[in-house]
Structures are given as structure tokens and as C-alpha cells.
Amino acid sequence: MKQIDTLIHARWVIPVIENDPILDHHSIAIEDGRIIDILPTDQARNEYQGHIENNYPDHALIPGLINAHTHAAMSLFRGMADDLPLMDWLNNHIWPAERQYVSEEFVHDGTELAIAEMLRSGTTCFNDMYFYPEITARIARDVGIRACVGLIVIDFPTVWANDADEYIEKGLNLRDKYRSDALIHTPFAPHAPFTVSDAPLERIRILADEMDLPVHMHVHETRQEVELAFADSNKHPLARLNELGLVSPNLVAVHMTQLTDVEIELLAESGSHVVHCPESNLKLASGYCPVQKLLDAGINVALGTDSAASNNNLDMLGEMHSAALLGKCVAGDASAVNAAQVLRMATINGARALGLDKQTGSLEVGKYADIVAIDFNALELTPVYNPLSHLVYSCSREQITDVWVAGRHLLKERALVTLDEQKIIHKARAWNDKILG
């Protein structure tokens, strides 16, 4: 019998691989943070002995969820300016609040709050875009969660940098620090076409091509954005990005609620990725991403929550539910954006968009053991005819009991292992009092 680090037995294993199998009474064997075997439980008990052995007779094990678009620290602005359209929300509320309150301490406390919420809702990897990315990276590394910490770029001065050149230089320094880190990755993150001019975008394109890094960017988020760009330059933002060479396999375009058939064809031909944020788009009335059209065109579509300031949560199970229902309504087809497609959007598609699909996003031998256990022994989940369907249409984050990243147990029986929940709540309430004045 082979001695290994961890052996996890479960009622179901849903690996998110070709043909979407659901493995009944299977186990996952883990050594040095990676999956070394997935096999029937009876066989696993005969072949392996884990230093740690976990039994989940009523649970499904799924790949860790990948939140492909966040602004983690903005969790401290949760609920601050609700029920407003995007540009009013940004210009008159969020950006003024950021100018007044964002600091190293704000980003530290807000990021801890966000990571705690994400772990408790099954996220094992998040793709972030915010100020002081070096703090976000340090916290994520200390906690043990996988993170793509965006090298943010914007034209105007903020608390973190004075101009686009300084943003880029600071970002490259952060990139060098985490170049060989297994948990921390550093995509470029220019904010949006309307906040970043041509020269820095051209430099980002050159650097991204040289380093083979994703370029994570808000694109075609609202009709107003597209119309204003067209009035100013006689071209849509995506067309401008294409002229600059940014519409490529490195592009991770977030939102994309305004798309023509020609633009969908361009995205498909270029190998670009799209991140769908249904709840934020709905709440800000930004529009609808045509998800089924994108999937039918062969475009890789991932899923993100956006910030807790515009969502107002970081719950990827809830986002999956919304994505499925909205996708059917937009397509006018009850079979569109089905449960298996949505689970892929929240796992392997996110990994693919971020260039991490060889490491995470599915439960396969050789990949990191980024795993979520979901308890199906609940009245709200009874009966169970199809556990994969239940994940999308019936489960809530309260059923998530355990989370592992690279084999490390970060959520154990709903308790955070590497974060102090009460301390985080205390700090968040102190910010609440400060902002309320």
C-alpha cells in the first residue's frame, strides 16, 4: 500500500473533463500538492494510505472555482452606492470614495475580507485588478489562495502611481518578484479603452507578447461606452484594440455586453477570451453578454463576479446560477448555457483564459489539488438525480464545507484555516464607521 499525503473519499467526483463525467463513489489521491490518482473508493482504500484521510459520503468534489474578474479590496465598498447606472456609480461615488479612502491599509483589509468570502464560497483562484497589487499578492500568498494579481495601468494619477509609465514600471517590478511563484501570477490589467491611451496600450501589447502574459481589461461594458468611443473616433473600442494588436490569444476581455456578429467573429478568429459577469451587469443595467453565441463561435468564456461593490457578493455558485438563467433568456432557448457549460465557465475556462489550464481548473492527474467539497445532505438538495445540475440550479455557498488549494486545507468544515474571521469582520466594521463618518 502506497503512503501519500492526503486521500479524499466522496460520494461523487465531478472532474470537469471531456464528456462531463460524474464519477460515483470515487476518491482523489494527493501528494506534494498535486493529484496523483482519481479512482473508485474501494480500489483507493486498497492501494493508498493517506497521512490525512477525509471521508465525504454525501459530498461532491469539484475543481476549485475560478473567479476570472475581481476588484477584491472594493469589498469594503459593498452596498455603498447601490441602484445607480455604471457611469454615475463610477464618476460620482466610487472614484471619489477611492480618492478619499484607498490606501495600503484599505487594500490590505479589503483584500482579506474578499479572500475570506471567496474561500467560503469555493473560489480557489481569483483574477484581480486594483491598486497596490503588491499587497494583494502578499496576502494571497500568505493565505494560500491562487491569485492572478493584475498589473494595473490607467492614464490618470491615483494613490498608487502618477502616470501610465509608472504603473507599468511598478507592475514589472511586481512581476519580477513573483516570477517563479506557484500561487501568484501577474497578468497585465489596463483598466479600459476609455481610461488608457494608445501609447501605454502599445507598450503593454509588446510586453505581453514578449512575456506571454494575459491582458485583463474591461471592454464593451456598456452601450454608452461604445457609443461615446464611436462618436469620438468613428470606431468601436474593440476595433481600436485590434488596430493596436491587442485582440489576440492574450486578451481577456471582461463584460462584452455590446457585440456585433462581426466582432464575435473577430474574437473567435483571434483566440481571445471573454469573462462574463452576469450579476454585476444586471445590477448596473449594463447589458447582456451573448454567451451562447460566443460559445457557439468557439470562444472561451469564463465567469467572474466583478467587485462586491457592484454585485454585491463574490459568490461563484450564485454567479453560475445567474449565468445559466440569463443565458437561456438572452438566447431564447431553454437548452442554452446548460449546467455543464456553466461549470466549465467557472473552472477550466477561467484557467484557460488566465493561462493556468495545465495547472488547475479540472481534477486530473498531474494538476494541483485545488478542490471544493459540497455537502448534498440537505433538504434543499433532496432528491438528487443529477449532482452536476444541482450545482448550478440548487446549491448555495452554505453547502460548501471544505476547500483545498494545492492540497492545503484552507476551509475546513466551514471554518477558515489561514484567516481570522472575527478579526476581518472587526476591521471591516471599522472601515464602515470611518466611511459613514
Q: What is the pTM of this model?
A: 0.98
Whether the Cβ atoms of residue 188 and residue 175 lie closer than 8 Å to each other: no
Instruction: Kindly report the CATH number that applies to the domain delimited by 65-353.
Output: 3.20.20.140
Cα–Cα distance for residue pair 223/259, rounded to 1 Å: 10
Query: Identical fold at 2-63+367-406 and 65-353?
Result: no
The Cα 408–Cα 297 span in angstroms is: 38
**What are the mean pLDDT values of the chain's consecutive 10-residue runs (437 residues total)?**
97 97 98 98 97 98 98 97 89 93 98 98 98 98 98 95 97 97 98 97 98 98 95 96 98 98 98 98 96 98 98 98 98 98 98 98 98 97 97 98 98 98 98 94
CB 303 within 8 A of CB 349: yes
Q: 2-63+367-406 adopts what CATH topology? A: Urease, subunit C; domain 1 (2.30.40)
pLDDT for position 437: 82
Distance, in Å, from the CA atom of 332 to the CA atom of 426, rounded to the nearest integer, reads 46
Extract the C-alpha cell encoding 224. Answer: 454608452
Sheet of 65-70: strands edge to edge? 65-70, 123-128, 146-149, 184-185
Nearest CA-CA partner of 145 in 109, 176, 184: 184
Please give the Cα distance from 332 to 327 (Å, whole number). 8
Instruction: Tell me the three state secondary structure of residue 345.
Output: helix
| Residue-range domain boundaries for the chain | 2-63+367-406, 65-353
- Start-end of H helices in 260-386: 261-270, 278-283, 291-296, 316-331, 339-345, 348-353
Sheet bearing 415-416, strands edge to edge = 34-40, 23-31, 2-13, 48-63, 371-375, 400-405, 408-412, 415-416
What is residue 342's predicted lDDT score, i.e. its pLDDT?
98
Between CA 421 and CA 412 the distance in angstroms is 13
Q: Alpha carbon of 228 to those of 233, 234, 280: distances in Å?
A: 9, 9, 21
Greatest distance between any 2 Cα atoms in the chain = 70
Tell me what pLDDT residue 300 has.
98
